[in-house]
Structure 1
Amino acid sequence: MAESSGGPKKLLWVMIILVLLSSAGAAAAIYMVLDERDDDNPEAPSEEVVESKPPVFLTIEPFTVNLADDRHGTRLLYAGITLRVEDEATRELLETHMPQVRSRLLTVLSGQEAGQLTSSEGKQQLAAAINERLSEPFDENQPPPELREVLFTEFIVQ
């Protein structure tokens, strides 16, 4: 019997080439489909550069307040607060009404218990309470101030 020259080897190479060609074709088809989908997406982020505004801060003089009584007796809080506001108009509005701002802050701070304020969670809750209280309008015919963030720059519970 005569041996055929390289039959199984030839078949193996043909199979490998066919697998590679079909994989390349599938990859090209997937790329084209995904590329079309990206072009039709109206929610795709535009390449326009948005000019970022520098943040506007209002620093409030530090407070020392008596905290609500807990099992350890009377405790003190010394807190320095800086407010990040929406714009210069909001900063000027808060500066104009600074006595009311400080009064509202004193009310919120003095109602706290020392045990709550020593945890990170307690400080976050306090910041949320301050933000909520200071976001209320100061006058009847005035829009509420737009506060972005309450930052503690000094914080000592004693």
Structure 2
Amino acid sequence: MAESSGGSKKLLWIMIILVLLSSAGAAAAIYMVLDDRDDAPEDAEEQVAEPQPPVFLTIEPFTVNLADDQYGSRLLYAGITLRVEDEATRELLEEHMPQVRSRLLTVLSGQKAGDLTSSEGKQQLARTINERLSQPFDENQPPLELREVLFTEFIVQ
């Protein structure tokens, strides 16, 4: 009987050690999971914290005759700057500048003076210019990503 009580003491100690080891393993696993969660937002913040500088393309000002309205022939003097997605888009637009200017002249000369005097009219003109310039210049070119059309000078006379 003495041997059996000694064997049960050993078994009890082995069981206690196994429980302690498994508890320590579980605690380590929980710590690792919680530590990974704490690191994830920092990585996301670092990615968001790297803003890219805006890329602009300034186009020389235009003077165009506007479509006739009740006041007769009117002129528009407009300076336009385009905010584009990246340097590659800016370079592509610079390469196709004659086509860019032609499209802008076509859009601007089709406007009426009365429409351009309100801020809503200017916003609509900016949307129209954005749509027109976003169309590809060549068959193999994907549509351009223009972020914003900015008027730097705008006089209706």
- TM-score calculated relative to the size of structure 2: 0.71
- Counterpart residue type for residue 111 of structure 1: G
- Counterpart residue type for residue 74 of structure 2: R
Q: Secondary structure at the match of 2:72?
A: coil
Write out aligned runs for 1:35-54 (5 A). 46-47=41-42, 48-49=45-46, 50=48, 51-54=50-53
Write out aligned runs for 1:14-93 (5 A). 46-47=41-42, 48-49=45-46, 50=48, 51-93=50-92
- Counterpart residue type for residue 133 of structure 2: L
| Cα root mean square deviation, aligned | 1.4
Mapped to 2, the partners of 1:88 and 1:139 lie a distance apart of 19
Give the Å deviation of 1:78.
Answer: 0.1
Instruction: Report if the CA contact (8 A) 1:93-1:145 is conserved.
Output: no
The structure with the largest helix share of the pair is 2
Give the Å deviation of 1:144.
Answer: 1.3
CA deviations over 1:91-119 (Å, ceiling 9, x no partner): 00000000000000000000000000000
Q: Secondary structure at the match of 1:59?
A: strand
In structure 2, the gaps of 5 or more residues are 1-39
Name the counterpart of 1:126. Answer: 125
Name the counterpart of 1:96. Answer: 95
Mapped to 2, the partners of 1:82 and 1:108 lie a distance apart of 15
Q: Secondary structure at the match of 1:79?
A: strand
- Counterpart residue type for residue 155 of structure 2: I
Moved over 2 A (4+): none
